[in-house]
Amino acid sequence: MSLASLDIHSSMGPDGLHPCLLKSCPGLAVPLHLIFRQSLLQVCCKTLERIIAKNLYEFLESNQILSADQFGFRQGRTVDDQLLLVYDDVTSWLDSGCVVDVVLFDFSKAFDVVCHTILIDKLRHIGVGGRLLDWISDFLTDRTMRVSVSGVFSASRPVLSGVPQGSVLGPLLFLIYVNHIPSYIRSKCKFFADDLKLYMKIRHNATHPLAVDLSSLQKDIDNISRVAASWGLNFNPNKCVVIRCQRGSVDWTAVGSLQHYHLDNSDLSLADNHRDLGILVDNTLKFHTHIRATVNKAAGLANNLLKPTLCRSSDFMVTILKSHIRPILEFGSTVWNTGYLGDLRLLESVQRRWTKHIDGLADLSYTNRLKALNLYSVQGRLLRADIKCWKIFHKQSVISPSDLFSVSPVTATRGHRFKLAKPHIYTECRRRFFSVRCIDHWNFLPDSVVGANTIETFKQGLHLSLGELLFAHTE
C-alpha cells in the first residue's frame, strides 16, 4: 500500500531510484517464494521416482484404494469427466425443484504443508512398508532450501513439511494424503488434486424444510475443516465460495443465519460465478460469461499471432489454429456448450476471422473456406465433442452409462443397441446440458457407427453420418 501511494512526479532520492519504478514494484515482482517452489532433483533420483510411482500407482488402482471422487493425477480421469458428473447432478436436482449449493474450497499451499509423519502413517495404513516405506521417508525428510540471487546464496533452511514440487512422486503422495476426506462427509464431493468441491440438493417443501439440508451441508463443511486442520491443511476462507442454483423464488428469511455457510468463523460468500477447474460456472448454468471470456482470450491470442506473422499459407495457418486457438475455444465444451445462438456466433467468429487471413481464401464464403481447408466449423466440432457417448459405452471413460443416461429398451424395428431414453424435462438448463442435448444426435447414428471398435473408426463413421452438420454454423 505504501508503494502504491507514491507520487510519480516526485524526484528521485540519493539512491537513484525513481518513485515511478518503485510504484510499479508490487505488480512486477511477485514474491519469490510464490513463484519458485520447485525442487531441483537429480536425473537419477527422478528415474527411480518414476519406477516407484508407476508401481505404487498400479498398487493403488488395482486395490481400489484411491477414492472414486479423486480425478487429479490419475489416468483416464479428466476435468471434463469430473465436471460432467457434478453438473449432471446439479441440473438434475434443479429440474426436480431443489435448490443446489456447490461449495468450492481453496486450500492454502496444500502441497507445501503436508506433514511427513502423518503421510508416512497413511502409507503404512494402506499397506506400504519395508524398504519402500523407508525410502519414501528418506526421500521426504532432511531436505533443505535456499535462495540464489545473482549467484549469491542465502543460508540453508530445513524443509519441515510438504511434498517436493517438481518431483515425480510428489503428486501421488499428495493424493494418498487427502484420500480419506470423502469418508468424513455425507454430501457429494469431488477432488481434482487439491481442488475440492462439495455439493448438495437443498429440498424445500412441506415435509422437508430448507433448514434440514442446509444444516447437513454446514456439518460437512465443519467436518472437512476439522479433519484438514488435524492434518495440517488450511483453507483460505476468502477464496472459498458457494454457487447457489435455484428455480424461482425461495424464502430464505425463514432459515435465518443458516442461509450463509461458515468456514473457520468466516462467512462463505455467495458468488454469481466462479472458476471451477478452468470453467467459469454461473448460478444460472447458462455459461454466457465463460463463453465471452473464452472468446476474448482466443481472439486476443489470434490477433497477437497475426501481427508478427508474415506467412499466411494454408498449412501454416491451419496448424496454428489447431495447436493454439482451438484448444482455448474447445476446452471443457461438453460441460458449457449450452447451444445458445448468440454464444455459437461468438465462438464461430474467431475461426471465421482467422480463416479470412489465409492466402487465396479471403474472397470465399466462410462455408467454402472451411471445405477448402477441410475444417469443421466450431459448432460442428462442439457437436462432435458431444458424441462422447461412444467412449462412455465402450468403457473408454471413467463415466459409466448409468451415471448420465437411461438406455432405451431394445426394439427390433428402429434404433441401435445403445439407444438412449429421453427424459421428461422441466428446466432449460437441464434440457441444454450434455446428458440430454446429445441424445437426439446419438440416437440418430446407425448401429455400425456406435458399435465401432476404435475411436478412429467411430470418427470416420461420424463424419459420414453427420455430414454437413459438421460444417454448419450460425450466421
Query: pLDDT per position in the chain (475 positions), as tens?
Result: 566 677 767 776 666 666 766 666 655 555 544 544 556 677 788 889 999 999 999 999 999 999 999 999 999 999 999 999 999 999 999 999 999 999 999 998 899 999 999 999 999 999 999 999 999 999 999 888 888 788 888 898 888 898 988 889 999 999 999 999 999 999 999 999 999 999 999 998 888 888 999 999 999 999 999 999 999 999 988 899 999 999 888 888 777 777 889 998 899 999 999 999 999 999 999 999 999 999 999 999 999 999 888 899 999 999 999 999 999 999 999 999 999 999 999 999 999 999 999 999 999 999 999 999 999 999 999 999 998 899 999 999 999 999 999 988 765 556 788 999 999 999 999 999 999 999 999 999 999 999 999 999 999 999 999 988 999 998 7
Rounded to 5 degrees, φ, ψ at 357 are -90, 0
Confidence at residue 233, expressed as pLDDT on a 0 to 100 scale:
94
Judged by DSSP in three states, 80 sits in helix
Judged by DSSP in three states, 5 sits in coil
Non-local CB neighbours of 197 within 8 Å, separated by 6+ positions: 86, 102, 103, 104, 105, 189, 190, 276
Q: Which helix (H) or strand (E) holds 282?
A: strand 279-282
Nearest one of 80, 136, 70, 93 to 426, comparing CA atoms: 93
Non-local CB neighbours of 46 within 8 Å, separated by 6+ positions: 167, 168
Cα angle: 293, vertex 469, 436; to 5 degrees: 65
Confidence at residue 411, expressed as pLDDT on a 0 to 100 scale:
59
Confidence at residue 64, expressed as pLDDT on a 0 to 100 scale:
96
Specify the pairing of strand 241-245 against strand 269-270: parallel
| Helix-helix angle 341-356:378-386, to 10 degrees | 120
Q: For 63-68, which contacts have Cβ atoms below 8 Å and span 24 or more sequence positions?
A: 63/127, 65/126, 65/179, 66/175, 66/176, 66/179, 67/179, 67/180, 67/181, 67/182, 67/191
Look-up of cell digits 500407482: 57
First to last CA, the chain: 49
Non-local CB neighbours of 138 within 8 Å, separated by 6+ positions: none
Going from the C-alpha of 37 to that of each of 145, 166, 381, the distances in angstroms are 9, 8, 39
C-alpha cell of residue 42: 537429480
Residue type, 68: A
Separation of alpha carbons 157 and 408, rounded Å = 64
Going from the C-alpha of 362 to that of each of 9, 40, 236, 377, 468, the distances in angstroms are 50, 51, 51, 17, 22
Going from the C-alpha of 266 to that of each of 235, 271, 283, 422, 428, the distances in angstroms are 11, 15, 22, 44, 34
Going from the C-alpha of 404 to that of each of 86, 187, 291, the distances in angstroms are 10, 19, 24
Separation of alpha carbons 104 and 83, rounded Å = 13
Look-up of cell digits 505488480: 27
Name the pTM for this structure: 0.87
Nearest one of 184, 156, 171, 223 to 69, comparing CA atoms: 184
Q: 185 with 226: CB under 8 angstroms?
A: no
